[in-house]
Amino acid sequence: MRETFDSIYPPGYLPKKLSDPAVQAQLRGARLTRPEWHCLYPSPGVYGKSTDFDITLIFKLLRTMCSLTPPPTGWDNLPSNTDHSLEADLARVKCYRNEVYGHSKTMEITDAEFVVLWIEISEALLRIAAGISHVKRDQWKKSIDAFKQHAAPLTPEEERCVEDLQQWCKQDVDVKDELEKLRATYQDGITTLNENIQGSFERLLEELQALKENESAVQVSDSTFRNPRLHHTLKGTDKFTIVIILKLNVKSRGSIIRIRGFSLLCYRL
């Protein structure tokens, strides 16, 4: 992509282009990050060089200030297999780069996927190079073939780095799995708790309704109301609570206290 950009704006001409107010206005609308803007304009009167631009910045410059027409599918989507225009190939390389390297979560592809992607990307790169010159295309083809056939084996240090990356990836996957299990356990616990609360509440309502229906059967004697031990308890309570306490007055004191606490709990609900 850098060589394509340089073919449009040669290094000797790029400072003049970047100093153009119209180009600067275009770049302000391109949503450049602060580091990217600083890369283009390091200081007043000084302009960046394409050799200092990363692939993301170069792609933004190609689509912003190089008078290129977006492919029918847009700059951010994989173009049609039959679209071999320069714009489509630039978008194709960008999409494959993000899919395989930039935004990949698994950091790996199968051998079959590698073969397909190698063909797609190398053909797109060769078409881009042919747009610069046939000589450039031949140079790129030799480099691509040499890279595929004679890639140097990994050094022992590089092998250890690969093993470390694989271990980190496995640990990340294990942590994610454990978090998913904890989330599922937590959700199950909340669901069970809600069901238990709902069931208990319904049973309480049924018992209270039954007590209320039998309220007329409870006979309260005057001596019971004059009982000084119950005077404080009965004071300020509603009629239904009084009925619950008096109905079980024949049982032990502990039973009365439990029922009293139960009646107060229901009263708060």
227-236 pLDDT tens trace: 554 444 444 4
183-203 pLDDT tens trace: 888 888 888 888 888 888 888
51-74 residues labelled b (16+ CB within 10 A) or e (exposed): eebeebbbbbbbbbbbebeebeee
* C-alpha torsion 219→222→227→228, nearest 10: 130
Q: Which residues does 136 contact at the CB level (< 8 Å), separation at least 6?
A: 3, 129, 130
Q: To the nearest whole number, what is the mean pLDDT of the chain?
A: 76
Separation between Cα atoms, residue 69 and residue 29, nearest integer Å: 17
As a whole number, mean pLDDT of residues 103-129 equals 81
Give the pTM: 0.51
Task: Give residue 214's pLDDT.
Answer: 67
* Amino acid residing at 129: A
Higher-confidence residue of 235 and 182: namely 182
Higher-confidence residue of 238 and 140: namely 140
Task: Give residue 208's pLDDT.
Answer: 81
Indicate the domain borders of the chain: 1-68, 69-151, 154-213, 216-269
Q: Are 90 and 1 in contact (CB under 8 A)?
A: yes
